[in-house]
Chain A
Amino acid sequence: MRGRRLSSIIASVTAHAVLMAGAVIMLTPFLWMELTSLKPPQEIFRLGLHILPREWGGAENYGRVFSDTPMLRFLLNGIVVCGAIVILQILIAVPAAYALAKIPFRGRGLFFALILVSLLVPIQVPSLFLYLGFARAGLLDSYASLVLPFIISAFAIFLLRQHFLQFPQEVVEAARLDKFGEFEIAWRIVLPSARPAIGAFAVFSMVAHWNDLYWPLVVVTDPEMATPPLGVVFFRNQESGSDFGALMAAATVISAPLIIAFLAAQKTFVRGLTSIR
């Protein structure tokens, strides 16, 4: 028995050592970002390995982020764009998914086939045509061009349809017998049961669009309309790699909202982000 204990202790220590090393690698970029954002330039450029800041450069770095760029505007844009996308996606997907799952109508099969095909199409595919369209309509550099391409989410419809399919049909029929209208059934009876699924999707979509760089890069040239990722790219190009302290401060500022949300609601986050299963 003692041999077994000893070998299991060795296994456990090894596992922790490996996991710890992995965790350090995972966390290094975050730590280094924080630490650098607090260092003054001369310390960043001084050769030799030193980890903790000796002089305080935080105020200056973060000050520059907010004075040299419209950082608050970036964050606001991010919130407006992501919020609008998620809300519209849900408003459009819920009734469609409900109809797909619960109401037989002509063309339903075709519609569902269309959803399945659309799942295969990443944004980069329609982007060319959509860009030309927005350019012609004079809508580049606008919230409309940032939001509209994403308001239809085949994934949301697919996910919610699966969920509604699992909702017992007997309950829907009982409600019909009780003279509920179709709309009321959907809104008052089925929808509340889908709240967790909708929440998970909202997290997933929020994170995906907060992170999206491709489309903003295509339609936005005016810094006033930049989303946070595009904003930090503008800032990086403007600094042309000289002021790392301020750059890391900018990275910190735009990463902070998601990271704080994640740390505050880990379960919801993990469930949402892995809901693609």
Chain B
Amino acid sequence: MTALSAQKRAEARIGLVLASPAILLLVLLVVLPVLATAGFSLTDYRLGTQTIGFAGLDNYGTLWNDPRFWQSVGNTALYTLIVVPGSVGLGLGAALLIEGRGWLRPFYRVAYFLPVASTFIAMAIVWEFLMNPSVGLFNQILFALGLPGINFFGNAQTALFSMAAIGIWELTGFNMVLFMAGLAAIPRDLYDACAVDGGESGWDRFRMVTWPMLGPTTFFVAIITMIRAVRVFEVAAVITQGRPEGATEVLLYSIYVQAFQYFNIGYAAALIVVFLVVTALIALVQARFGGGREASR
């Protein structure tokens, strides 16, 4: 055995030693629980019962036939469909407007980013108060204008939209900062070339330069927002408990209720598997189509 290969082996041993705590914990805290959860989803396990029976795909069958499950999927999807375009669009708009706005720029940046740096559940409770049907600020303003008030969270028609409004408020500033970084990376020369080529309006500049150059950033921001949006939980859990009439029942809240209030382990595990598949799909879309991002930076 040569000295070099002996040294290589010693190195490799050190590598394994350095990585082993992480490997061990990863197996213990991620791999094993995920596999076990997938396993549970094939059983009729409920906490408190003594026996565990193999149930095959029964839990998935129950899910498939459960209108509440579909409602929860539909609510999560609708929430995502509102929050993603809303916060991505507003974030982009804010970033574009803030570009080159001189001395007020730092103020705007802080103001828009503050929701990101706050404790979300506390602010959700503040929103609940703002949206309180009788003493909330919003309805006080509507009343003062002589308009009828809105029962934001009390009405099945408006509850999910109220929740989405809070989501947009939370994520816009975050997306704005990502867009500002993207904007800063666009070469100034391209705007000059566009101007010399006859691009006159702000719209021309946006269409010819800003939008195409921001393409990869936009894609990335949309994916990130989507991953966050499908994880919506706090407002449903604390403020509405899925009410009224299940209008704010979202996927994670269903999981929480089934797993930790009804202790319907098998059924909750099936829900979790569905949730994992959804988030993994979004991430895979990003991995597959988002490759251009690194290159463009």
A interface vs B, CB < 8 Å?
11-12, 15-16, 18-19, 22-23, 25-30, 32-33, 36, 44-45, 47-49, 92-93, 95-96, 98-100, 103-108, 111, 114-115, 118-122, 124-132, 148-149, 151-152, 154, 157, 182-183, 186, 207, 210-211, 213-214, 217-218, 228-229, 232-233, 236, 244, 247-248, 250-252, 254-255, 258-259, 261-263, 266, 269-270, 273-274, 276-277
Considering only CB atoms, which chain B residue lies closest to A93 in the complex?
A: B22
Among candidates B16, B116, B126, B231, residue contacting A248 with C-beta atoms closer than 8 Å: B126
B122→A95 contact, CB < 8 A: no
16 interchain pairs, CB-CB under 8 A: A25-B169, A29-B127, A32-B130, A92-B25, A99-B19, A103-B18, A105-B11, A105-B16, A121-B276, A126-B37, A128-B272, A183-B14, A250-B122, A255-B123, A259-B118, A269-B117
Considering only CB atoms, which chain B residue lies closest to A186 in the complex?
A: B18
A214→B256 contact, CB < 8 A: yes
Q: Decide: A131 near B121, CB < 8 A? Known: A26-B111, A36-B129.
A: no
B29→A152 contact, CB < 8 A: yes
A104→B11 contact, CB < 8 A: yes
B111→A23 contact, CB < 8 A: yes
B186 located at the interface, meaning its Cβ lies under 8 Å from any Cβ of chain A in the complex? no
A129→B123 contact, CB < 8 A: no
Chain A interface: which of B72-80, B81-89, B93-101? B93-101
A115 to B134 alpha-carbon distance, docked (Å): 50
Q: How far is the CB of B227 from chain A (nearest CB, A)?
A: 8
B70 located at the interface, meaning its Cβ lies under 8 Å from any Cβ of chain A in the complex? no
Inter-chain contact total with CB atoms closer than 8 Å: 262
A104 to B260 alpha-carbon distance, docked (Å): 43
A95→B18 contact, CB < 8 A: yes
A29 to B12 alpha-carbon distance, docked (Å): 55
Q: 8 Å CB contacts to A: which residues of B7-33?
A: 8, 11-16, 18-19, 21-23, 25-26, 29-33
A121→B117 contact, CB < 8 A: no
Q: Decide: A129 near B32, CB < 8 A? Known: A19-B98, A32-B129, A120-B283.
A: yes
Q: How far is the CB of B38 from chain A (nearest CB, A)?
A: 10
A29→B126 contact, CB < 8 A: yes
B12→A274 contact, CB < 8 A: no
B114→A259 contact, CB < 8 A: yes
B112→A26 contact, CB < 8 A: yes
A18 to B112 alpha-carbon distance, docked (Å): 13
B94→A22 contact, CB < 8 A: yes
B121→A118 contact, CB < 8 A: no
A132 to B111 alpha-carbon distance, docked (Å): 42
Q: How far is the CB of B42 from chain A (nearest CB, A)?
A: 14
Q: Decide: A115 near B26, CB < 8 A? Known: A120-B280, A125-B272.
A: yes
A236 to B129 alpha-carbon distance, docked (Å): 11
Q: How far is the CB of A4 from chain B (nearest CB, A)?
A: 11
Among candidates B16, B90, B98, B224, residue contacting A106 with C-beta atoms closer than 8 Å: B16
Q: How far is the CB of B139 from chain A (nearest CB, A)?
A: 10
Q: Decide: A131 near B11, CB < 8 A? Known: A119-B283, A255-B123.
A: no
Which of chain A's residues have a CB closer than 8 A to the CB of B30?
A: 118, 121, 126, 152, 154
Which of chain A's residues have a CB closer than 8 A to the CB of B134?
A: 47
Q: Decide: A125 near B202, CB < 8 A? Known: A213-B121, A244-B129, A259-B117.
A: no
Is chain A's binding surface mostly helix, strand, loop or mixed? helix
B114→A26 contact, CB < 8 A: yes
B122→A232 contact, CB < 8 A: yes
B119→A258 contact, CB < 8 A: yes
B117→A18 contact, CB < 8 A: no
A13 to B31 alpha-carbon distance, docked (Å): 55
Chain A interface: which of B61-69, B171-179, B187-195? B171-179
B177→A274 contact, CB < 8 A: yes
B11→A30 contact, CB < 8 A: no
B60 located at the interface, meaning its Cβ lies under 8 Å from any Cβ of chain A in the complex? no
Apart from A98-B18, A128-B37, 10 more pairs, CB < 8 Å: A19-B97, A32-B129, A105-B13, A111-B19, A119-B283, A152-B26, A228-B122, A250-B122, A273-B174, A273-B177
A276 to B177 alpha-carbon distance, docked (Å): 12
A44 to B260 alpha-carbon distance, docked (Å): 36
Q: How far is the CB of B272 from chain A (nearest CB, A)?
A: 6
A149→B29 contact, CB < 8 A: yes
Q: Which of A12, A104, A213, A276 has the most CB of B within 10 A?
A: A213
B208 located at the interface, meaning its Cβ lies under 8 Å from any Cβ of chain A in the complex? no
Among candidates B94, B143, B255, residue contacting A49 with C-beta atoms closer than 8 Å: B143
A19 to B260 alpha-carbon distance, docked (Å): 43
Considering only CB atoms, which chain B residue lies closest to A131 in the complex?
A: B260
A82 to B237 alpha-carbon distance, docked (Å): 22
A44→B26 contact, CB < 8 A: no
Considering only CB atoms, which chain B residue lies closest to A22 in the complex?
A: B94
B120 located at the interface, meaning its Cβ lies under 8 Å from any Cβ of chain A in the complex? yes
Q: How far is the CB of A223 from chain B (nearest CB, A)?
A: 16
A251→B94 contact, CB < 8 A: no
B33→A114 contact, CB < 8 A: no
B19→A211 contact, CB < 8 A: no
B238→A45 contact, CB < 8 A: no
Q: Decide: A19 near B101, CB < 8 A? Known: A119-B283, A183-B14.
A: yes
